[in-house]
Structure 1
């Protein structure tokens, strides 16, 4: 990945100079939290989408994991994200802030180490493939269960939680699918490996409740846009067979944006292509991230302040 400069603990460093010592506790124990953020080429210039919400969630994830004090406040990390994108000269890119345990913690006590922060950026391609937005993708229900909320702290975007997603996604891809749908410990639909999930029934959007999932910022954006379009939105428990009976199913995430699931467990969903409501939401979302909707003003942080 091309990243000329990486922000590390308050300084921009050449990307090729940034190295982690082998004895970094975060690498051994997964004690790190992170965010995925996008910068888009908007109508008034490059802008980062919902930057404050992402950095606030980074802080909240760190507090859930157990950090009592953090080295950089939200405002400073927001400025660091802007600075890192500018230094790399990107107009569109993906941002990865990472807050990780360094310099201690070998006794499995978070208080024994220090919190460090890095921010990298790089160009981003279609997460689920180039045809995902138009045609939709194929998915299956994974044999792996989503973390129990009292095991994996599902409200925090913790690095150590993601082997769960790796297991599910790798299995599904090896079976010939594009994505995996994960059920919770009660056998109800939770989310995909890196995205939240919605189903469409008539003029209503249904999505799994907050308790078992990572509450996605793209998910929140879609729910807001859908209500403004006059759609009814409800977070409620969903069974596996409700997926098969849906008019449309789609997933949302910073990387995936909005992508339809055209087939689940070898069963076509709706017409077997991206459905009309999914397409309308895709159009509204793309307009929002590029500053073409009035409400986008509160969601965009422009790189240029002029």
Structure 2
């Protein structure tokens, strides 16, 4: 049951189409976000729409309607899907550019049922490959994922950006490592704003963990006991291998497992 909000109405996905003149197709200029729902209730929607608006601002894309109207569309669409779902709002550049800005954007939202993450992800963990590059425009959630997709390695979940040996984030996720009582994650200005990341940091601080905001260097991986990534769909997912290095004996560690449980306990607090 997938459908789209387009041109002011809800339609089947096959009934919605962008013209070939849209600069999202011509030049890849568009931003988006992903709002997950639990039982048809959006999770942290206000924060997600703040991020979408900021991505649009940094891209020069004018907001065609206020965030509260976007929220109403997402609520309505989510109510039409029983159970958990995904809502993906997009803002494309439209057909014209004026001095580096895009005054006539297009707005649409894709809705689909959520495909659950396999439970073995949490019991066995994930492997990440290494990509020695910086994420392009890290503060903007753009539609351009060509670099990590072209460098995805078989047997891994996704690439981990590590320009100059400094770990920032992975292709579709925020990255955390654990060394002693320290939870280490890159500083805000180096990475995309992660909504689940923010909530995990809040939970970690509330439970006595020291959150250290800096880029871990690859040379420090030998001192790391655990690692995990976060995102709207995966929530908190353990990482047990980075490149050729096995983390924590190859099984999810106790701090990560505890954070998984604490995060899930607090989900109701963030439902719209």
Q: 2:44 aligns with which of 46, 50, 58?
A: 50
- Give the equivalent residue in structure 1 for 2:252: 274
Q: Distance in 2 between matches of 1:217 and 1:9?
A: 28
Deviation at 1:108, TM superposition (A): 8.4
After TM superposition, the structure 1 = structure 2 runs for residues 229-240 of structure 1, keeping only pairs within 5 Å, are: 229-240=207-218
Distance 2:124 2:165 in 1: 29
- What is the number of equivalent residue pairs in this alignment? 272
Q: Give the alignment of 1:84-233 within 5 angstroms.
A: 84-87=77-80, 89-105=81-97, 109-111=100-102, 114-126=104-116, 129-143=118-132, 145-147=133-135, 152-160=136-144, 162-168=145-151, 170=152, 172-173=153-154, 176-184=155-163, 186-233=164-211
Q: Deviations over 1:106-152 (max 9, x none)?
A: x88434x611110111122245x541111101122124x123xxxx3
Deviations 1:79-110 (A, max 9, x none): 110011123x23201111001122334x8843
Aligned to 2:266, what secondary structure does the other structure show?
A: helix
Match for residue 238 of structure 2 among 260, 265, 273: 260
Which SS does the other structure have where 2:93 is aligned?
Answer: strand
Could you say which residue in structure 2 is the equivalent of 1:304? none
Contact 1:258 1:282 in 2 (8 A): yes
RMSD: 1.9
Q: Which runs of 5+ in 1 are unaligned?
A: 302-306
> What SS does the corresponding residue of 2:248 show, helix, strand or coil?
coil
Distance 1:24 1:238, change over 3 A: same
- Change in CA separation of 1:234 and 1:191 when aligned onto 2, cut-off 3 Å: same
SS of the equivalent of 2:105 reads: strand
* Aligned position for 1:35: 33
| Distance in 2 separating the partners of 1:285 and 1:194 | 19
TM-score normalised per structure 1: 0.83
C-alpha distance in 2, partners of 1:131/1:108? 49
Q: Which residue of 1 aligns with 2:227?
A: 249
Worse-superposed segment, 223-232 or 11-20 = 11-20
C-alpha distance in structure 2 between counterparts of 1:56 and 1:119, whole Å: 16
CA contact (8 A) 1:64 1:153 kept: no
Distance 1:15 1:179 in 2: 28
Rounded Cα–Cα distance in structure 2 between residues aligned with 1:188 and 1:16: 43
**TM score, norm. by length of structure 2:** 0.93
Residue in structure 2 matched with residue 14 of structure 1 by the alignment: 12
Which residue of 50, 57, 67 maps to 1:74?
67
Contact 1:70 1:115 (8 Å CA) reproduced: yes
Residue 49 to residue 252, structure 1, CA distance change in 2 (3 Å): same
Mapped partners of 2:252, 2:261: distance in 1 = 12
- Structure 2's unaligned 5+ residue stretches are none
Q: Distance in 2 between matches of 1:37 and 1:165?
A: 22
Give the CA deviation at 1:228.
1.1
Conserved in 1, the CA contact under 8 Å of 2:84 and 2:113? yes
Judge conservation of contact 2:60–2:100 (CA < 8 Å) in 1.
Answer: no
